[in-house]
DNA sequence: TGAATCAACGTATCACCGATACCGAACGAG
DNA sequence: CTCGTTCGGTATCGGTGATACGTTGATTCA
């Protein structure tokens, strides 16, 4: 009972660091300040997080997860498109209500590097977009849609954060959201066939017109589509 | 002649700092490294720039201006909309070719604060958007249009910078650009959109579950479906 | 021309930072 | 009980942003 495990001190450090970040901003997050606030010696940080960057990554992920669970936002409405909207709004809310954490996640962009928390957010986004694709509502590839949504959303948040609160455009987020959705979503509400064979049949029907495939590829694909349709 | 004026040493410091930033990244920009590279004593930096943040701001603005003049990009084509497109592309080019400078301009977002270089870029954008409005091509207010373009463009650049070079979507910038332009400009006919990509995407989303194809066939088909989806 | 004044310069240093070497204690294995 | 190993704490290293202060050099005025 109440044994001081390693995960305990890890949690305590992250908690103290998060409080420090919210209170004094990013510059307040020195290894000494964090270790003092957590009642731990400085070397402990390096044993647990390896590096100061490791600590910052962990703090960002901690703040992000904490926000998500506080919102109990993992639920699904059943409508994938509606879930995508809610995911967008939740993302913007998080960025504006905890700007220091958000900048920690996305602001320190070094070429080719992504923070674990950002990767986590991206994975969530991708899974929603995939469900939109399964519902037949997507007009571009999952990959492109996810990237477009992600880039735009991040730009909106960082741009709003950089704008003094009284000068912000309150509708910028919604405008951007609907602009992007209009680009990646199909207009029709009708389902494109929930079962795989139906989708294969629908694609097979229009395959002749495409220029994206060579003749040989088209022939082979038609064969495969038939296999799926008849499975 | 050849007297060492204050602006001379200022220029020399910025030049050395810019070279240092490009060579060693942001962490290489210590006051000592900069002053040593410029052949100046550390206190000189504080006399000229007041602060380390002041130095960073000046370096960002220096790199931005240098890029602009190197591109001689201030010319106008006469068509305001075309100028807006060129401005977008130039912005993205700058961010990708000098990521360290770009992150210096936009990445260190602290709540309510904007770097002078970013303000300069915003002013340029706004003047172009105003010309678009004068040409009667704008569908939303200058204010909102400029903010939407700015936020989206910044998001695209930061997102691309954070993505390893080989994983980047080469068309993300154009897609985002045309998406935003379609929203803020008049007279842009929305593309009809063939139904074929949608069907390909719907099928792609459920492809994992099929047993009608072998693993190898599925991989190849996924590739072709992506081609159709992004056509 | 010469001296007085003041701003710019360079030395030296401060407090603090990220990171780590090293030692001693606690604990488990034999 | 003893030995070895692992882990936490002390002390410290090199480096950083920032600045106080004595000195020098140029400018200005008599």
pTM flag (> 0.75):
yes
What does the pLDDT read at residue B22? Answer: 95
Give the pLDDT mean for B204-214. Answer: 84
CB A83 within 8 A of CB A77: yes
pLDDT tens per residue across all 231 residues of chain A: 344 566 778 999 999 999 999 999 999 999 999 999 999 999 999 999 999 999 999 999 999 999 999 887 667 898 999 999 999 999 999 999 999 999 999 988 888 899 999 999 999 999 999 999 888 888 899 999 999 999 999 999 999 999 999 999 999 999 999 999 999 998 765 555 557 877 887 788 778 888 888 989 999 988 898 888 777
Q: What percent of chain B has pLDDT over 90?
A: 71
Q: Give A144's contacts in chain B (Cβ within 8 Å).
A: 169, 171-172, 175, 230
Closest CA to B205 of B185, B188, B179, B229: B229
- pLDDT level of residue B2 (50, 70, 90 thresholds): very low
User: CA-CA distance, B71 to A132, in Å (whole number)?
Assistant: 42
H or E element in which residue A25 lies: none
Select the residue from A144, A155, A213 to test the B interface by mutation, using most B Cβ atoms within 10 A: A155
Residue B208 touches partner A, C-beta closer than 8 Å: no
Q: Give B172's contacts in chain A (Cβ within 8 Å).
A: 144, 147-148, 151
Give the pLDDT mean for B156-162. Answer: 98
Secondary structure string (H, E, C) spanning chain B: CCCCCHHHHHHHHHHHHHHHHHHHCHHHCCHHHHHHHHCCCHHHHHHHHCCHHHHHHHHHHHHHHHHHHHHCCCCCCCCHHHHHHHHHHHHHHHHHHCHHHHHHHHCCCCCCCCCHHHHHHHHHHHHHHHHHHHCCCECCCHHHHHHHHHHHHHHHHHHHHHCCHHHCCCCHHHHHHHHHHHHHECCCCCCCCCCHHHHHHHHHHCHHHCCCCCHHHHHHHHHHHHHHHCC
Cβ-Cβ pairs closer than 8 A, A with B, add up to 228
What does the pLDDT read at residue A1? Answer: 39
Chain A: give the shortest CA distance to residue B216, in Å. 12
């Amino acid at each position: 009972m109440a044994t001081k495990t390693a995960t305990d001190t890890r949690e305590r450090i992250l908690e103290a660091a998060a409080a420090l970040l919210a209170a004094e901003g990013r510059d307040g997050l020195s290894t000494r300040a964090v270790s003092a606030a957590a009642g731990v010696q400085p070397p402990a940080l390096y044993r647990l997080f390896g590096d100061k960057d490791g600590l910052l990554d962990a703090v960002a992920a901690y703040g992000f997860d904490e926000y998500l669970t506080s919102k109990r936002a993992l639920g699904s409405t059943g409508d994938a498109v509606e879930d995508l909207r809610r995911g967008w709004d939740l993302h913007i809310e998080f960025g504006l209500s905890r700007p220091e954490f958000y900048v920690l996640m996305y602001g320190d962009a070094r070429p080719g590097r992504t923070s674990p928390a950002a990767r986590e957010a991206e994975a969530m986004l991708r899974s929603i977009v995939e469900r939109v694709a399964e519902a037949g509502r997507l007009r571009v590839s999952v990959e492109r849609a996810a990237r477009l949504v992600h880039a735009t959303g991040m730009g909106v948040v960082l741009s709003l954060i950089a704008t003094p609160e009284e000068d912000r455009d309150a509708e910028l987020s919604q405008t951007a959201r609907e602009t992007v959705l209009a680009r990646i979503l199909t207009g029709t509400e009708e389902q494109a066939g929930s079962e795989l064979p139906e989708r294969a049949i629908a694609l097979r029907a229009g395959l002749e017109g495409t220029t994206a495939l060579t003749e040989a590829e088209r022939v082979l694909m038609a064969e495969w589509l038939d296999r799926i349709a008849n499975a």
